C-alpha cells in the first residue's frame, strides 16, 4: 500500500470512529453525554483539559465556569494564558488567578484547593508576572483584599469573592471601575 492510500485509509477509519461515537451518543441528554465522555476519557487514561478558543479566550466546561468564552480548538490552558486573558492589575488579583488556576484549570495532577507562598513564586514566574518584593506577604494581602481565606499553616484557598473576580470580573473594562496599582 502506498503512502497516500494509507493516509486516506487512516482518515476514513477516524471518520468512521467519529460517526460511531456520535451515533452512540445520539438521543442522550447533556448530563448523560458528559457521564459517557468522562468514563471514556478515564478508561483510556486521557485527561480532558480546559480548552482555549482560537481567539485566546478561556473556555471551561459549563459545570466549572459559565459564561467565560467559547470553544473552538483544544489545548491545555496555562497559567500564562489565564493571566494574559484576565489582565490582573495587582499581585492580589494575580494571587486569586493562581488560586483559581490550581482549583479549576490546572491539569488534574496539579489541581488542589489551597495555595502557598511557594505557589505564588512558581506560578508568577510561569505567568511572567512581576514578583512582589515580599512574596510571603502576597497571600495575606490577597486575603485582606477579600479574595482568599486562610486555610491554616500558611495555606490559603480561593473564596467566592476571589472566584467571582477571576471567573466574571476580570479583565476590568476601562472606565467601569478605577484601577488600583
Give the tens place of pLDDT for each residue, 122-132: 999 999 999 99
Q: The CATH number of the domain where 88 resides is what?
A: 1.10.10.10
Rounded average pLDDT over 148-177: 89
Count of domains for the chain: 2
Q: Is 3 a residue whose pLDDT tops 60? A: yes
Of 33-37, 43-47, 73-77, 122-126, minimum mean pLDDT range: 73-77
CB contact at 8 A, 159 and 149: yes
Q: Is residue 71 part of a domain?
A: no
Which residue(s) pair with 157 in the sheet?
149
* Better-scored residue on pLDDT, 104 or 34: 104
Compute the mean pLDDT over every residue in the chain, rounded to the nearest whole number.
80
Rounded average pLDDT over 148-154: 96
| Residue 60 backbone class (left: φ over 0; alpha: ψ -120 to 50; beta: rest) | beta
**Structural domain that includes position 96:** 79-169
Q: Residue 79 has what pLDDT?
A: 94
- Residue 181 binned pLDDT confidence (cut-offs 50, 70, 90): very low
Tell me: do 160 and 83 sit in the same domain: yes
* Better-scored residue on pLDDT, 178 or 158: 158
Tell me: do 94 and 35 sit in the same domain: no
Tell me: do 85 and 12 sit in the same domain: no
Tell me: do 29 and 85 sit in the same domain: no
Q: Is 72 a residue whose pLDDT tops 50? A: no
Q: Is residue 103 part of a domain?
A: yes
Tell me: do 163 and 83 sit in the same domain: yes
Q: Is residue 69 part of a domain?
A: no
Tell me: do 37 and 107 sit in the same domain: no
Q: Residue 95 has what pLDDT?
A: 98
CB atoms inside a 10 Å sphere around CB 136: 12
- Measured between alpha carbons, how far is residue 86 from residues 15, 21, 31, 56, 69 in Å? 37, 35, 29, 11, 12
CA torsion sign for 126, 128, 133, 139 is negative
CB contact at 8 A, 150 and 143: yes
Amino acid at each position: 500500500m502506498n503512502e497516500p492510500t494509507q493516509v486516506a485509509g487512516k482518515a476514513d477509519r477516524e471518520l468512521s470512529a467519529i460517526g460511531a461515537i456520535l451515533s452512540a451518543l445520539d438521543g442522550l441528554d447533556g448530563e448523560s453525554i458528559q457521564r459517557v465522555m468522562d468514563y471514556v476519557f478515564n478508561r483510556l487514561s486521557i485527561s480532558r483539559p480546559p480548552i482555549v478558543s482560537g481567539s485566546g479566550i478561556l473556555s471551561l466546561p459549563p459545570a466549572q465556569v459559565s459564561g467565560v468564552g467559547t470553544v473552538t480548538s483544544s489545548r491545555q490552558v496555562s497559567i500564562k494564558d489565564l493571566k494574559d486573558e484576565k489582565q490582573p492589575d495587582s499581585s492580589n488579583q494575580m494571587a486569586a488567578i493562581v488560586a483559581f488556576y490550581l482549583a479549576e484549570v490546572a491539569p488534574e495532577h496539579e489541581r488542589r484547593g489551597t495555595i502557598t507562598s511557594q505557589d505564588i513564586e512558581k506560578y508568577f514566574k510561569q505567568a511572567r508576572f512581576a514578583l512582589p518584593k515580599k512574596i510571603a506577604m502576597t497571600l495575606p494581602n490577597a486575603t485582606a483584599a477579600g479574595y482568599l481565606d486562610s486555610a491554616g499553616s500558611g495555606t490559603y484557598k480561593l473564596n467566592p469573592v476571589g472566584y467571582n473576580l477571576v471567573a466574571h470580573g476580570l479583565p476590568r473594562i476601562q472606565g467601569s471601575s478605577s484601577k488600583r496599582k
